[in-house]
Structure 1
Amino acid sequence: MRLVYFSPVPWASFAQRPHKFVEWFHARRGGDVLWVDPYPTRLPELADFRRIKASGGSAMPLAAKRSAPAWLTILRPRSLPIEPLPGAGALNRRLWNDILQAIHAFIEKEECRLGIGKPSELALQVLARHPTVSSIYDAMDDFPAFYRGLSRIAMGRRERKVAAQVTRISVSSTALADRFATYHSKLTLALNACAIETLPSPSATTKSSGRPVLGYVGTIGHWFDWPLVFDLAEANPSMCIRLIGPIYALHPRPLPRNIELLPACDHATAMKFMQEFSVGLIPFKHTDLTASVDPIKYYEYRALGLPVLSTSFGEMALRDGLAGVFLMNKHSDLASLVRTAMASECEIDEMQEFRTANSWEVRFDASGILS
């Protein structure tokens, strides 16, 4: 069985849920995958040009050196960045003729499924052209919440059309499951997970004996709670707050001396940094976007045996009381909470049990979305 997959992220980006989804599909079904890179599905904003200028002309701050396996072919659609506007689909269709023909030829060769990782006009056109082909919408985010104004309205409309037309829907968080509850007969919850194969063995993970490090790895965007991180640094002056990743939301005032910023790095380097952490941080604000998030960082931190200090957002709000999870807010005694987190222990067998239960293979197998 083959798969045409409309991805929300480029193949050249860091391995995320979409990459793991197609790898799992190929491992279970053995067929080739036609990966369709995303194209702009909203109107451009001034910040886009600033971001590209800051990154030296690239839209991605640090592209992974990712080659495609023999079983995967990548298509990169051209488009005008006008998708939210009326009639945009008809205009862009002229640029998609080759893409549509390639997808048609791929589907006709043998049994195939359509996988949609992000709603788009191109995906809707392919669904309409191949109504008898089984299809899956794997929703990993609240996509309309990324956008504003007309772009947000248009994305919401496209997502509703996709949800109504596909055969199955899988979602990455409880909040997303609630959003798509109308489609309960074809809905399944498949939380995020962890790439276990990239981790050191549990016996090789040891607590750092040096200065305690409260660490975060990931994008620092508008959802990042800078004020809370400042409070955390000021409440724990003897500890290092290490933040690693691209910054799209600047800190509101000069950094305290114990906050350290490091640039984006590849996944292997990020894993090495994480092994130096004493506590893993997930300091996100409460927003429409984060309400539907199940952070992969949670799985990576816990798979390394780290205690997790997080705000109460999205799926993390449902983990209050779980082993190694400590929730914080602006009213918390942040010094006491950090001490409690650092005093928690994670034995090797607990670490291995967590990894076994939270691999991508186990997660997607349990979802039954290919049945």
Structure 2
Amino acid sequence: MTRLVFLSPLPWHSFAQRPHKFVDWFRRRTGASVLWVDPYPTRFPRWSDLTRLRVSPVTAASSATPPWLTVIKPGGLPIEPLPGSGWVNRFFWRQALSRIDEFVDGSPAWLVVGKPSVLAHLLLQRLHHCSSVYDAMDDFPAFYTGLSRDALARCEQRIAQRVDVIWASSSGLDAQWRRYRHEVCLVPNGLDLSATSAVKRSSKSSTRKIFGYVGTMAGWFDWDWVAALAEGRPNDEIRLIGPLFGTSRAQLPDNVVVLPACDHGAALRAMAEFDVGLIPFKKNVLTASVDPIKYYEYRALALPVISTDFGEMHCRSGLPGIFISHSLSDITVLAKAALQCGRDADEARAFALQHSWDARFDAAKLHP
């Protein structure tokens, strides 16, 4: 029976995202056993990491380890940008490498790389008989700086040359990788159909509208845009839910409410209380290749969406219920137009079916 080794960009016991949805899909389609490899540090530590350690992680209830899945933590020192780091860390990886060898021994297997790393490249060499995929979920080097960024970019190129196919999660990444490889498949992000279907739209009505955002607020979050919206809608509430990394704008209007992170089910229920969904990201190298999952969840809940002009959202300008902001001066007009949008439950259901994770991965025709 086919097996799957998945090198994840995030731990199994974390908020369920694309990697979790992929291995769930793979298991349901094949009945295969899965070996999930948690990430290890692939850059030098920074002082800002201490801030992240102080933020309480929110884990999804579904992150409990099912019987068909094994999670291993390879370990290693945070020295990967240095030449020869793989030789040093191989000492720490001995047990993980042995377990991976035993897992695939004598069985057809897929090796899926969810994040470029020296360990991923080593496994592609070591398990050359396995079918392989690089799931390019982000422009990973853009999240790094200096030596770490250059090293990761080189590592990513080596991995891309070795795998059988590259999956790109956005049209920007698709275009980027097609300059180097023909074997590229666009596999956009999607949504958890069962989770969104279980949420009921809030029936309460009020003249005070809620413009809401659920997600991480870090360096890419446009606080100036949020402040401009709040100032333009002083009688409404701007509700922001999620972990905050770094600092927000020094002075925010009183109608901006920042709430802590919550699990996925609670996040979807919170979205159901919004009148308009927000995606206020800065337009830069980091966001140029982003296809935000919250877009799909907002629309599956029949929410109109106001987004800044970045990444995949740029391609959605003109779609029903989607309002793309190009500057601080157009926010008030877009907010008024979004509130006038009708919310059609049947259209939302059809949208959810079309953009479910199952639909995404089935369309990729991986043939496991």
* 1:207–1:278 contact (8 Å) kept in structure 2: no
Match of 1:315 among 304, 312, 320: 312
* 2:51–2:245 contact (8 Å) kept in structure 1: no
Structure 1 segment 107-122 matched on structure 2, within 5 A: 107-122=104-119
Three-state SS of the structure 2 residue aligned to 1:90 is helix
Note if 1:51 corresponds to 2:58. Answer: no
Residue 337 of structure 1 and its aligned partner are, at CA, apart by 1.1
Q: Which runs of 5+ in 1 are unaligned?
A: none
Measured in 2, the distance between the counterparts of 1:80 and 1:344 equals: 52
Match of 1:63 in 2: 59
- TM-score, length basis structure 2: 0.96
Measured in 2, the distance between the counterparts of 1:333 and 1:44 equals: 40
Structure 1 segment 203-218 matched on structure 2, within 5 A: 204-206=200-202, 208-210=204-206, 211-218=208-215
Q: Which runs of 5+ in 2 are unaligned?
A: none
Three-state SS of the structure 1 residue aligned to 2:103 is helix
Q: What amino acid is aligned across from residue 280 of structure 1 in structure 2?
A: G
Three-state SS of the structure 1 residue aligned to 2:351 is helix
Three-state SS of the structure 2 residue aligned to 1:333 is helix
Q: What amino acid is aligned across from residue 101 of structure 2 in structure 1?
A: H
Q: What amino acid is aligned across from residue 127 of structure 2 in structure 1?
A: H
Note if 1:177 corresponds to 2:174. Answer: yes
Residue 13 of structure 1 and its aligned partner are, at CA, apart by 0.8
Structure 1 segment 60-209 matched on structure 2, within 5 A: 61-65=57-61, 66-200=63-197, 204-206=200-202, 208-209=204-205
| Residues paired across the two proteins, number | 365
Identity across matched positions, percent = 49
4+ residue runs over 4 A deviation? none
Match of 2:15 in 1: 14
Measured in 2, the distance between the counterparts of 1:51 and 1:199 equals: 29
Measured in 2, the distance between the counterparts of 1:230 and 1:77 equals: 43
Residue 63 of structure 1 and its aligned partner are, at CA, apart by 3.2
Q: Deviations over 1:17-49 (max 9, x none)?
A: 000111111111111000000000011111112
Measured in 2, the distance between the counterparts of 1:207 and 1:344 equals: 16
Residue 208 of structure 1 and its aligned partner are, at CA, apart by 4.2
Task: Give the superposed CA RMSD.
Answer: 1.4
* 2:228–2:328 contact (8 Å) kept in structure 1: no
Q: Deviations over 1:199-219 (max 9, x none)?
A: 2458x4256412210000000
Q: What amino acid is aligned across from residue 16 of structure 1 in structure 2?
A: Q
Measured in 2, the distance between the counterparts of 1:265 and 1:206 equals: 18
* 1:217–1:270 contact (8 Å) kept in structure 2: yes
Match of 2:281 in 1: 284
Worse overlay, 178-187 or 71-80: 178-187
Three-state SS of the structure 2 residue aligned to 1:238 is coil
Q: What amino acid is aligned across from residue 139 of structure 1 in structure 2?
A: A
Note if 1:36 corresponds to 2:37. Answer: yes
Measured in 2, the distance between the counterparts of 1:162 and 1:201 equals: 39
Worse overlay, 173-182 or 64-73: 64-73
Residue 367 of structure 1 and its aligned partner are, at CA, apart by 1.2
Match of 1:246 in 2: 243
Measured in 1, the distance between the counterparts of 2:124 and 2:356 equals: 30
Match of 1:265 among 258, 262, 265: 262
* 1:208–1:277 contact (8 Å) kept in structure 2: no
Match of 1:358 in 2: 355
Worse overlay, 104-113 or 88-97: 104-113
Residue 184 of structure 1 and its aligned partner are, at CA, apart by 4.3
